[in-house]
């Protein structure tokens, strides 16, 4: 399998009040933390984002705009269109606001999707479909799903296509949706490297 990665950075970030991907955590943008965690687990990495791609220039990654912005699934579709011609088997997605991704995210998603289907992460009772495995064979189905007018929910699309579930320990997918969340992440970093 050839697994590519995409960081989903196209959200409106209303609760954060700023471009969430670029909000600093310990002096580095959130997206840089995600790239550092996801990059070593995939063959190639890109960013799904609309707007001026130059704001991500320091990361040296391709920036993939949505053809039509309908939430995270549009970003995944753009990533599949990017990855398939390059020989990828699947794309693993992760949100730009989850700086402490598990170092074994990709292999565990691949195990959960070993039948060739999609997979996404869970931790306890929580589901994290933005941390998902999306085979390139789902590209046409995803295009049809988005064109159908259905509410574009990641989890719904994944489950319609027999997604496997990769379970992780609690707190594996902490994220920063608000300034209060960001403060909690800063406090977690204060516990040293073992805290993350």
Assess whether pLDDT exceeds 50 at residue 34. Answer: yes
pLDDT one-digit tens code per residue, 55-90: 999 999 999 998 788 889 999 999 999 999 999 999
- CB under 8 Å to 106, separation ≥6 — which residues? 3, 5, 38, 41, 42, 92, 133
SS3 label, residue 181: helix
Residue 134 confidence class, pLDDT cut points 50, 70, 90: very high
Max CA separation in the chain (angstroms): 48
**Hey, where are the domains in the chain?**
3-195
CA–CA separation, 50 and 178 (whole Å): 21
What is the model's pTM?
A: 0.91
Q: Which CATH superfamily is domain 3-195 in?
A: Spore Coat Polysaccharide Biosynthesis Protein SpsA; Chain A (3.90.550.10)
Mean pLDDT of 32-54: 96
């Amino acid at each position: 399998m050839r697994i590519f990665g995409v960081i989903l950075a196209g959200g409106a970030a209303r609760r954060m009040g700023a471009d969430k991907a670029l909000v600093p955590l310990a002096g580095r943008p959130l997206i840089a933390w995600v790239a550092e965690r996801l990059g070593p687990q995939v063959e190639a990495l890109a960013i799904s984002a609309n707007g001026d791609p130059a704001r991500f220039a320091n990361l040296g990654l391709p920036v993939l705009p949505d053809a039509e912005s309908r939430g995270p699934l549009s970003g995944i579709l753009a990533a599949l269109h990017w990855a398939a011609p390059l020989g990828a088997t699947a794309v693993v997605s992760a949100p730009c606001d989850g700086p402490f991704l598990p170092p074994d995210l990709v292999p565990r998603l691949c195990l959960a999707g070993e039948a060739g289907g999609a997979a996404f992460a869970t931790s306890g009772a929580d589901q994290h479909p933005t941390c998902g495995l999306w085979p390139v064979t789902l590209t046409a189905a995803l295009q049809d799903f988005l064109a159908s007018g259905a509410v574009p929910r990641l989890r719904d699309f994944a489950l319609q296509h027999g997604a496997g579930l990769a379970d992780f320990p609690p707190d594996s997918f902490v994220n920063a949706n608000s300034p209060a969340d960001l403060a909690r992440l800063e406090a977690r970093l204060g516990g040293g490297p073992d805290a993350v």
